Chains A and B, each alone.
Chain A
Amino acid sequence: MVKKIPIGPFHPLLEEPEFFELHVDGERVVGIDITIGWSHRGIELLSEHKTWDQVPFLVERICGICSCSHPYAYVKAVEDLCQIEVPLRAQYIRCIAAELERLHSHLLWTGLAGHFLGYNTVFMWTWKFREPVLDILEAVTGNRNHYAVMKPGGVRRDLPQEEVPNIIKMLDQVEKENAMLTKAILDDPVIHARTKGVGIFNKDQCRLYGALGPTARSAGYDVDDRRDHPIDAYDKVSFNVILCEHGDVFDKAVVRQLENFESIKIIRQCLKLIEDTKPGDICAEIREVPPGEGIGVYEAPRGEVLHYVRSNGGNMPMRHKVRAPSFNNILTNELSVLGNTIADAGLITAAVDPCYSCTERIGIVDRASGGRRVLTEADLVRLSHEKTEALRKRFAEGRENG
């Protein structure tokens, strides 16, 4: 039976499975067809049936990792529409929560990349180091995830001042561990051999494809909404935009690792500056949302999140458009996997940091035989591990020989 699914436009790549069909000639990838849409939940349509104040609870469920970024971009869109200023204290709390989210997201990706490469120690360490970040998020927002902190006009929960010394102490620890992890990754010859020159997507291609976040910055395409479209407290703190130049998997990892230090720097500044604000002053009142439209953008861990809202003067959006960064970044795989091996393809597609589901599969079309086979995620991980192991042995033999 043919079934019709009434859904609004939404970009499901971030959360659930996507399907890449690789066209290979031997072991080389010569083409790719990407199919998305496996888990369309109709968030935009649902949003049009929620009040302005209820929508943040909905959009923070677009993505478990970006559960601060989506509501952040949404509330900025509403505030753009209403042209209102957010109290200073709320601005700092928003930035703290958002940067903590970046920290845990980048650490999560590093762990997964380690797993893909066959470095399960990196995976275990990184996720262990990520735990205190979630603890800090709980201290700041009350939740380890789905923080429910964003609200049009401000935030829902004040920062408990008594938690600040403990937060600073935990941040010191996270910084120390991130430094150790960064050094371990950047100094490892096998990781260099495995990721350098792999999955290159250059600066000009980034501009044409609208690549965002670490995917773009790793190629030297200098875009970061925290600096380019500063919202709330981002123009009151100093930080560096991390850029690399090669656009390969290694540079993507470098950008993420170094951005962690910048996030910690921003959080420290916000915690210092928030002392000069009045406790309790965390939300500006929005009496009504006028007819019109608003655009909200925020630099999520994976790149810019864009929300567009339109109002007809009612208490619900008449249109709400969501564009997550992976919608642009996944498309870059069209070029970045070409010429690489199947063993690297999983790593390259993961390097843009999409949210994979456990059911992820990749279909292979072998040009020589015309045959068709399906590799599961486990197969891809095995191929990747075999390649890393071969490199490791080769390096070990090289050391023994001289």
Chain B
Amino acid sequence: MEREEVKKRIAERFGSKVRIAERSPKRVYVYAENEIWTDLARFLFDDLNARFDTGAAVDDANGVEVMFFFPFDREHYFVTIKTFAAKPNPTLNSIAAYIPGAKWIEREMFEMYEVNFLNHPDLRPVLRADTRPGDYYPAKREVKDDHETVRQRDDGDARADEVAGKAPKGKNP
């Protein structure tokens, strides 16, 4: 399905609940509200016949941005749908309940960023060893204020250079 048609169909179906941006002819980004998140994914996958690819998460001060990639192969472009799961308890409905291919990537996002996917068929960590504590989310950053990001180390200590807002010594500036 052509790009313009897809954008039109999404806008018709979800109206003000989505915002559509286009960075290039091959990349369309759809920002969706949490409540229609799974509906949008299913609409792309079932009704518009997009292929499910994978997902990704980006952490920031206020929450976790979660995105899934849906390529339209015959027309050579990607539609990326995005939503925002707010901290302190980022929660979203699971699309793995409908698209089994999303099972592991949602488990990974849960494990790394503490995104709780409701209705996931088997939401348990996918990568971590059994010996690791359940309440530790390695990729999650604790933000102290607007400028400082602190990432916990193995031993639980904060990295001094990150706290100070400096680049680590010996690393590239």
A residues adjacent to B (C-beta < 8 A)? 2-10, 12, 36-37, 40, 44-45, 49-51, 54, 80, 83, 207-211, 223, 228-230, 292-293, 295, 297, 304, 306, 308, 310, 315-316, 319, 321, 323, 327-328, 331, 334
Contact = CB atoms under 8 A, between A and B. Distances in A.
A44 B151 CA distance: 14
Nearest first, the 8 closest Cβ-Cβ pairs linking A and B are A210-B101, A37-B127, A228-B73, A321-B56, A323-B54, A209-B101, A210-B52, A9-B112
Given A6-B153, A7-B138, A316-B172, A37 B129 contact: yes
Contacts, number: 127
Contacts of B126: 36-37
18 contacts: A2-B133, A3-B154, A5-B129, A5-B154, A6-B151, A7-B139, A9-B112, A9-B139, A10-B127, A37-B128, A50-B172, A208-B100, A210-B99, A211-B101, A293-B23, A295-B69, A297-B71, A319-B56
Contacts of A4: 132-133, 136, 138, 152, 154-156
B131 interface: yes
Interface string B150-170: 011111100000000000100
B41 to A, nearest CB: 12
A133 B129 CA distance: 38
Interface string B116-141: 00000000011111011100101100
A50 B173 CA distance: 9
B108 interface: yes
Contact of A2 (B26, B100, B132, B138): B132
Given A40-B127, A327-B104, A210 B133 contact: no
A230 B128 contact: no
Contacts of B80: 295
A208 B51 contact: no
A297 B172 CA distance: 27
Could you say which of B54, B80, B136 has the most chain A C-beta atoms within 10 Å of its C-beta? B54
Nearest to A44: B139
Contacts of A54: 172
Contact of A207 (B51, B102, B125): B51
B125 to A, nearest CB: 8
Instruction: Describe B's contact surface by its main secondary structure.
Output: loop
B95 to A, nearest CB: 12
Contacts of B129: 5, 37
A5 B138 contact: yes
Contact of A295 (B27, B99, B127): B27
A49 B104 CA distance: 26
A352 B71 CA distance: 22
Contacts of B127: 7, 9-10, 12, 36-37, 40
A74 to B, nearest CB: 14
Most B CB contacts (10 A, CB to CB) among A5, A315, A316, A334 go to A5
Interface in B1-54: 23-24, 26-27, 51-54
Contacts of A210: 51-54, 99, 101-102
Interface string B49-69: 001111011100000000101
Given A208-B99, A228-B76, A331-B104, A308 B138 contact: no
Nearest to A8: B139
Contacts of B109: 9
A80 B26 CA distance: 9
B172 A315 contact: yes
Contact of B51 (A3, A223, A292, A308): A223
Given A37-B128, A230-B76, A295-B27, A8 B100 contact: no
A229 B67 CA distance: 20
A315 B51 contact: no
Nearest to B171: A49
Given A4-B152, A9-B108, A54-B172, A308 B128 contact: no
A327 B53 CA distance: 11
Given A4-B156, A36-B126, A331-B104, A306 B132 contact: no
Contacts of B69: 295, 306, 308
A331 B168 CA distance: 38
A18 B130 CA distance: 14
A382 to B, nearest CB: 29
A8 B109 CA distance: 10
Contacts of B73: 223, 228-229
Contact of B132 (A3, A36, A297): A3
